[in-house]
């Protein structure tokens, strides 16, 4: 013990720890032999001494070992330090950079939007798409007038033909509602076309198509087939869009005084007052 305390003067930490251990040991062994603990202490102290020597030694050794480290380091050095930051970045970088992820996610949407902008001039308005549906589908117009309006059983509508017959879109609408006049040989249109008559001529569509479909197909025939200027059909388009005035369930009546009916609808929609 005295030796321990003596050593403790120099080493505050180690003895306290070792003393506890030796105290416990002694308790475990019982006070049977007083000599043995004493005999044990020296080993622990001798063990502590080398430990101290070791803890101090590294500091001292470090100085002596430093010359060795520089010799070792020059070899590892070329690996981390000569590697340029951008090369290092390339090595540690993920295959898809973080910034590219949102770009890649957005890419398909962009493609769709871009494709949409390319197509939009062709299938722009609702009136055109509905008109096309009627012309090629439910109205069956294409069957008699040709897919492109070039004519067939019915006369050609393209290349301004339909405009020559019906300069006013309202007359065009009235024609589609009513179909050919009953008597063959009756003159119709602005250019006095000779009608085949109801039996062999143009069917009336006032019942089969609703008002919106007729407005749409007339718009389609004039703009897409006849080559009309859309600006000249502003009133027609507006009337089509005035759904409270021309609801889906509205049908034009065959045999009605159509011009007044159309004028009445335009007036209620507040279109082209004069």
What residues make contact with ligand HEC under the rule CB under 6 A?
Answer: 134, 139-141, 143-145, 153-155, 157, 161-162, 165, 172, 175-176, 180, 189, 193, 195-196, 201-203, 205, 217, 221
Work out how close the CB of 150 gets to ligand HEC at its nearest, in angstroms, rounded to a whole number. 12
Work out how close the CB of 121 gets to ligand HEC at its nearest, in angstroms, rounded to a whole number. 23
Q: What is the DSSP secondary structure assignment for residue 220, as one 8-state letter?
A: H
Nearest residue (CB) to ligand HEC, 50 versus 152: 152
Q: How far apart are CA 170 and CA 258, in angstroms?
A: 9
Answer whether 33's CB lies under 8 Å from 48's CB. Answer: no
Work out how close the CB of 245 gets to ligand HEC at its nearest, in angstroms, rounded to a whole number. 22
Q: How far apart are CA 18 and CA 61, in angstroms?
A: 26
Q: How far apart are CA 15 and CA 44, in angstroms?
A: 9
Nearest residue (CB) to ligand HEC, 44 versus 195: 195
Q: How far apart are CA 21 and CA 27, in angstroms?
A: 10
Nearest residue (CB) to ligand HEC, 41 versus 218: 218
Q: How far apart are CA 176 and CA 171, in angstroms?
A: 9
Answer whether 120's CB lies under 8 Å from 129's CB. Answer: no
Work out how close the CB of 174 gets to ligand HEC at its nearest, in angstroms, rounded to a whole number. 10
Nearest residue (CB) to ligand HEC, 11 versus 128: 128
């Amino acid at each position: 013990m005295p030796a321990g305390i003596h050593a403790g003067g120099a080493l505050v930490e180690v003895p306290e720890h070792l003393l506890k251990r030796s105290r416990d040991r002694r308790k475990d062994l019982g006070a049977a032999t007083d000599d043995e603990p004493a005999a044990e202490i020296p080993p622990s102290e001798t063990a502590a001494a080398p430990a101290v020597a070791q803890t101090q030694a590294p500091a001292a050794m470090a100085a002596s070992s430093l010359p060795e480290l520089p010799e070792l380091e020059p070899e590892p050095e070329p690996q981390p330090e000569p590697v340029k930051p951008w090369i290092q970045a390339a090595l540690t970088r993920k295959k898809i950079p973080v910034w590219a992820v949102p770009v890649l996610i957005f890419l398909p949407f962009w493609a769709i939007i871009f494709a949409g902008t390319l197509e939009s001039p062709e299938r722009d308005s609702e009136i055109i798409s509905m008109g096309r549906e009627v012309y090629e589908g439910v109205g069956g117009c294409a069957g008699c007038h040709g897919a492109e309006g070039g004519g067939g059983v019915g006369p050609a509508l393209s290349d301004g033909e339909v405009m020559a017959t019906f300069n006013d879109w309202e007359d065009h609408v009235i024609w589609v509602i009513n179909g050919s006049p009953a008597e063959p040989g009756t003159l119709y249109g602005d250019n006095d076309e000779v009608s085949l008559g109801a039996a062999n001529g143009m069917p009336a569509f006032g019942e089969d198509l609703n008002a919106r479909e007729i407005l749409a197909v007339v718009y389609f025939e004039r703009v897409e087939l006849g080559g009309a200027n859309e600006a000249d059909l502003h009133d027609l388009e507006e009337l089509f869009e005035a759904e409270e005035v021309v609801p889906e369930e509205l049908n034009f009546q065959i045999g009605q005084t159509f011009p007044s009916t159309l004028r009445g609808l335009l007036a209620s929609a507040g279109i082209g007052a004069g």
